[in-house]
Amino acid sequence: MRLNFRLGWHEFFAPDGYPFSLDHVEARDDTAGQVRFVSMLLPHPPARVVDLGSGNGRHARRLARLGYEVTAVDRFAQESTEYLACVAELDQLPLKDETFDGCISLYTSAGYGSNSMSSQFSEWLRVTRPAGTLVLDIANRGRRFRTAVDSFSSGRGFMWSVRVGGRRLQVNLALADRSATFFAFTYPEPRPHVLRKRLEECGWLVVDLYGDFDGSPLDRSTPRMIVRALRA
Ligand SMILES: C[S@@+](CC[C@H](N)C(=O)[O-])C[C@H]1O[C@@H](n2cnc3c(N)ncnc32)[C@H](O)[C@@H]1O
């Protein structure tokens, strides 16, 4: 059995990265329901929306089908005939000032690696028109230690994670094709008041906080932290 080590979020999310991919997440989650809720928080179509950390484009293409004009930004953005794909870093967008009516960043896509959340939030503000909307969805702080088991066509995966301070360290092991590959990376897992402070320091005014895509209020037990903010 071969043993491999891949460090950093970009190794995990790369097309040849961890085998339990966003396609598996899409099959598991109610992406259509998420998009329905997000569209209620955004300006009406045909508003211009940018999806920041768009992954396989599961939200971008559904928003495009609702009539939004969508740009999808990701280091691994996937081409589509339904939206404009843009390969870029989330704190260095090759996009003009005040272009978008709305920004979305879903399923914990902010603040990976050396990019601070604040440098990303400031950059997102730059490309949003005055009074434009941000919808940001990140995992609510769950248990300090978490584990999970994943199944995929070529094998199985295991996840262990621990929250340390305001960040989570995640380690995944993929057992497939006679190899064992470890992935390790960290991402921010702020408390709601810290997230609000970071957003407001960057010029976003937080107007609503939800605990899930059903519109339930945020509390300690809710799985998500979904923020609607306006460019102040
Ligand atoms: C957890 S996935 C979520 C993807 C998508 N929003 C979804 O819900 O399916 C995070 C995505 O953000 C991208 N990403 C994270 N940090 C990034 C950065 N600094 N620059 C560009 N892309 C980034 C990753 O490549 C990955 O596709």
- What is residue 230's predicted lDDT score, i.e. its pLDDT? 98
User: How far apart are the CA of 1 and the centre of ligand 1, in A?
Assistant: 31
SS3 call for 44: coil
pLDDT, tens only, 166-188? 899 999 999 998 899 999 999 99
Residue-level length of the chain: 232
User: How far apart are the CA of 56 and the centre of ligand 1, in A?
Assistant: 9
User: How far apart are the CA of 76 and the centre of ligand 1, in A?
Assistant: 8
Q: Whose CA is nearest to atom 14 of ligand 1?
A: 53
Dump the DSSP string for 151-167. Answer: EETTEEEEEEEEEETTE
- What is residue 163's predicted lDDT score, i.e. its pLDDT? 94
Burial (Cβ within 10 Å: 0-12, 13-18, ≥19) of residue 166 = middle
Q: Whose CA is nearest to atom 16 of ligand 1?
A: 112
- What is residue 116's predicted lDDT score, i.e. its pLDDT? 81
What is the amino acid identity at position 48? R
Rounded distance between C-alpha atoms, residue 229 and residue 217, angstroms: 15
Residues of the chain under the 70 pLDDT cut: 114-115
User: Is the CB of 89 inside a 6 Å radius of any atom of ligand 1?
Assistant: yes
